[in-house]
């Protein structure tokens, strides 16, 4: 069980109100709110320890470096990475996935090679591969999704060939909440001699993640989706692969020696951290991980599944609603449409009630086409949400339905 009064850890819930109504924040899949503990840690860093890292010989810089490296160790332990050096700090999951596509893909793919993705990918795990496929002549293939919004592993086995070099899939879908069997997918990829890449943007914040158990070669995530600051994320990579890879960006601190026309590079993770990193972001991320760990990831997962199940059940009562959620694996993400009410209208009506949801294609246009919708409304729950938020949402949706139903409108507006 998750403890009570979590909202009071987050200053925004006492500051922000919309038209006199308290904030009901249901857009955590986009970004989560930040607890005071994280905000204070960032302030403490800038107030007391600010200096650049890995370059100063003075004490303050060495302390800043130690704090930054401690954050890396914390991230490694959080996802059970074998060693801190396997964790590269990036800006976000998008940058992490681009790093793999460019630094691994450009140098390991040739014409006719295949990269397998899935039908439920976020654009962050599609567009980088489109670019790399154009550069290399590699071919993209897709694991199919079945009617219960789950990936069909038989379709993966069918499309795998001797030319498949990488399988890159989302761990938890940001639209459907489906938890994909990434351990099994990784095993299938490895059996075929391909590497496995996991987009963990929606898993690291919500479920316990063990990259050694999954066995994947790369795992990407964002700090801002797990109570951390924006502008900090990470990429876990198997060290031997990272060692063999070319850099992604060139510049200061990623080098060993530089000559006028050539250079050679530092060891990972520094080879992939050109320029001054987001030091305060890494420190804030460590504080976020400590906050999450204090609550317990198992508790967070149970809390969100229970809330998601309750919301799915409660929202099913809303007239004309269609919910896109797998039966087998529940999470705290609920995408839906309502007959005759555009998702943007739903969002606008909810906003007037102080409820923040997202409406749109959720950066997953191919998935929208597969679902045969232009867009959906999406409520995404996190550790600070509770049943009263679900109730407020359900009541506001009933109001939205009534507003768009002339028959009922008169009663509601009375």
For 174-231, where are the alpha helices, taking DSSP H only?
182-191, 211-214
What single DSSP character describes residue 82? S
The answer to whether 363 is a known catalytic residue is yes
CA nearest neighbour of 210 among 79, 77, 76: 79
180 contributes a contact to ligand 7TS by CB under 6 A: no
Query: Which of 139, 312, 363, 402 does the annotation list as catalytic?
Result: 363
Q: Report the site for ligand 7TS in 215-244 (rule: CB under 6 A).
A: 222
Chosen residue from 94, 108, 180, 329 binding ligand 7TS by CB under 6 A: 94
Q: Report the site for ligand 7TS in 264-303 (rule: CB under 6 A).
A: none
Strand-strand pairing, 195-199 and 218-222: parallel
What are the residues whose beta carbons fall under 8 Å from the beta carbon of 98, sequence distance 6 or more?
124, 128, 248
Q: Shortest approach of ligand 7TS to residue 368 CB, angstroms?
A: 12
Binding mask 28-67 for ligand 7TS (x = CB under 6 A): -xx-------------------------------------
Closer CB to ligand 7TS, residue 34 or residue 362? 362
Chosen residue from 28, 33, 86, 92 binding ligand 7TS by CB under 6 A: 92
Q: Shortest approach of ligand 7TS to residue 341 CB, angstroms?
A: 21
Q: Shortest approach of ligand 7TS to residue 379 CB, angstroms?
A: 12
CB contact burial 36-64 (16+ within 10 A = b; e otherwise): ebbbebbeebeeebeebbbeeeeeebebb
Phi, psi of 412 (to 5 degrees): -65, -40
Closer CB to ligand 7TS, residue 142 or residue 265? 142
> Which range in 34-42, 44-52, 86-94, 237-245 contacts ligand 7TS by CB under 6 A?
86-94
CA nearest neighbour of 41 among 319, 205, 279: 279
Mutual angle of helices 387-403 and 297-315, in 10-degree steps: 30
Question: Rounded to the nearest 10 degrees, how much is the dihedral formed by the CA atoms of 73, 45, 233, 356?
Answer: 130
Q: Shortest approach of ligand 7TS to residue 324 CB, angstroms?
A: 13
Number of residues that bind ligand 7TS (CB under 6 A): 16
CA distance 250 to 274: 6
385 contributes a contact to ligand 7TS by CB under 6 A: no
For 296-405, where are the alpha helices, taking DSSP H only?
297-315, 343-351, 365-371, 387-403
199 contributes a contact to ligand 7TS by CB under 6 A: yes
> Which range in 68-76, 105-113, 265-273, 356-364 contacts ligand 7TS by CB under 6 A?
356-364
Closer CB to ligand 7TS, residue 174 or residue 280? 174
Q: Are 379 and 393 within 8 A, CB to CB?
A: yes
Q: Shortest approach of ligand 7TS to residue 356 CB, angstroms?
A: 12
Binding mask 112-131 for ligand 7TS (x = CB under 6 A): ----------x-x-------
Q: What phi-psi label fits residue 50: left (phi over 0), alpha (psi between -120 and 50 degrees) or beta?
A: beta
> Which range in 92-100, 128-136, 176-184, 391-399 contacts ligand 7TS by CB under 6 A?
92-100
356 contributes a contact to ligand 7TS by CB under 6 A: no
β-strand partners of 207: none
> Which range in 32-40, 91-99, 313-321, 368-376 contacts ligand 7TS by CB under 6 A?
91-99
CA distance 401 to 318: 8
| Interface residue list for ligand 7TS (CB under 6 A) | 29-30, 92-94, 122, 124, 170, 174, 199, 201-202, 222, 358, 362-363
What are the catalytic residues? Answer: 363
């Amino acid at each position: 069980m998750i403890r009570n009064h979590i909202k009071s850890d987050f200053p925004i819930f006492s500051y922000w109100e919309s038209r006199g109504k308290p904030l009901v924040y249901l857009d955590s899949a986009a970004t989560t709110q930040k607890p005071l503990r994280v905000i204070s840690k960032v302030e403490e860093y800038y107030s007391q320890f600010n200096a650049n890292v890995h370059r100063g010989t003075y004490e303050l810089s060495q302390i800043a470096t130690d704090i930054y490296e401690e954050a890396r160790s914390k991230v490694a332990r959080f996802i059970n990475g074998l060693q801190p050096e396997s964790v590269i700090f990036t800006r976000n999951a998008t940058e992490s996935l681009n790093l793999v596509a460019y630094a691994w893909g450009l140098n390991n793919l040739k014409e006719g090679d295949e990269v397998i993705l899935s039908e439920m990918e976020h654009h962050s795990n599609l567009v980088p591969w489109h670019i790399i496929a154009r550069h290399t002549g590699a071919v993209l293939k897709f694991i199919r999704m079945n009617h219960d919004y789950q990936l069909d592993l038989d379709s993966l086995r069918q499309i795998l060939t001797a030319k498949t070099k990488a399988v890159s899939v989302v761990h938890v879908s940001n639209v459907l909440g489906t938890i994909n069997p990434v351990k099994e997918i990784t095993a299938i990829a490895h059996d075929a001699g391909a590497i496995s890449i996991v987009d963990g943007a929606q898993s690291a914040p919500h479920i316990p993640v063990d990259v050694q158990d999954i066995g994947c070669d790369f795992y990407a995530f964002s700090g801002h989706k797990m109570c951390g600051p924006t502008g900090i994320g990470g990429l876990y990579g198997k060290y031997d692969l990272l060692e063999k890879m070319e850099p992604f960006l060139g510049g200061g601190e990623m080098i060993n020696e530089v000559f006028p026309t050539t250079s050679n590079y530092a060891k990972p993770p520094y080879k992939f951290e050109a320029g001054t990193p987001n030091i305060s972001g890494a420190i804030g991320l460590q504080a976020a991980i400590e906050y999450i760990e204090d609550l317990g990831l198992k508790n967070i997962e149970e809390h969100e599944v229970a809330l998601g199940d309750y919301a799915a059940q409660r929202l099913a009562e809303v007239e004309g609603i269609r919910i896109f959620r797998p039966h087998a694996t529940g999470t705290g993400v609920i995408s839906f449409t309502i007959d005759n009410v555009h998702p943007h209208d739903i969002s606008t009506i909810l906003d007037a009630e102080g409820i923040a949801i997202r409406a749109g294609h959720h950066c997953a246009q191919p998935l929208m086409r597969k679902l045969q919708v232009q867009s959906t409304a999406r409520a995404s729950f996190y550790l600070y949400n509770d049943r009263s938020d679900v109730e407020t949402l359900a009541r506001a949706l009933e109001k939205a339905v009534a507003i768009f139903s002339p028959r009922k409108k008169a009663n509601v507006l009375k």
